[in-house]
Amino acid sequence: MSQPSLPRGLVVGVDGSAQSHTALRWAAHDAKLRKVALTVVHVLPVELPGWGYGSGMAPLPQDYGQLQEAQGRQILAEAVRVFGETAPNNGPVELHTELLFSSPVPTLIDLSKDAEMVVVGCRGHGAFGRVLLGSVSTGLVHHAHCPVAVIHDEASSPPNMAAPVVVGIDGSPASELATAIAFDEASLRKVELVALHSWADFSWPAMDTPFFRAQAEETLAERLAGWGDRYPDVSVRQVVTPDEPARHLVEEAESAQLVVVGSHGRGGFTGMLLGSVSSAAVHAARTPVIVARQH
């Protein structure tokens, strides 16, 4: 899975919020592990023609663009400071900053075409609109051209670097990519990998039998075949569950440092635009979640 750094390496979007600084710290650590560049991006919305309330509109101040740009550069300068505190002597080989005038979601999706991964906070403020997950993080996990890491607020405390990486596996192409990313991350972090597979997406006691469990264990073993040869340093713990894969994945995430999911799935991991299990993990897990998207 590891590959030479793409032009921008890891891209992290910042907006000056505490959430985006949490994402920046995580991205700096991951870029260091991968030995790739880190590109810090702040996107300023395109200038509006006027402002006001009710039916009245007034032109923006003449120096509005300059003030907006100055604020953007201040946000990037603060991000560089946070990065320096995070890894003053052991950061990525390269650190880049970019200030762009555009719409945040399409801009970051476009940047994802030549990034190894895009990292964002679960929500933010300003151009990075504040909603349940966040307009930017939502747009990226649905449309980015590379893996997307969504960093939750709770990740601000120092992570347990001995905790495992967890991956949800259902055998779909999306979960194959998730498996590759998960093995790579576990190897870089030198931790155990927990591979979770469920043979039903709803609770049905009749399905929880030794026969179905044995089938699920065999299926999971098949999905993991060959990965041990590629990553002999990664110890894998296989977990099979009879139902509710989303709930079990979120529960496993409680004692993990990272969760990796496919962008969509099938079978026990019901296929949707994002995928019900992937969506649940991104929204509910308190640990960082990587959604496996690809170019």
Q: What domains are defined for the chain?
A: 10-46+62-155 (3.40.50.620), 165-292 (3.40.50.12370)
How many alpha carbons fall within 13 Å on the CB side of residue 98?
17
Whether 95 contacts 83, CB under 8 Å: yes
C-alpha span between 271 and 263 (Å, rounded): 9
What pLDDT sits at residue 80? 94
What pLDDT sits at residue 277? 77
Q: What is the pTM of this model?
A: 0.85
What pLDDT sits at residue 261? 93
How many alpha carbons fall within 13 Å on the CB side of residue 72?
22
Whether 171 contacts 215, CB under 8 Å: no
According to DSSP, residue 3 is labeled: -
What pLDDT sits at residue 130? 37
What pLDDT sits at residue 2? 47
What pLDDT sits at residue 216? 83
In which residue ranges of the chain is pLDDT below 50?
Answer: 2-4, 125-132, 266-273
Sheet containing strand 165-168, edge to edge, reads 95-101, 38-44, 10-13, 117-121, 148-151, 289-292, 258-262, 165-168, 193-198, 236-241
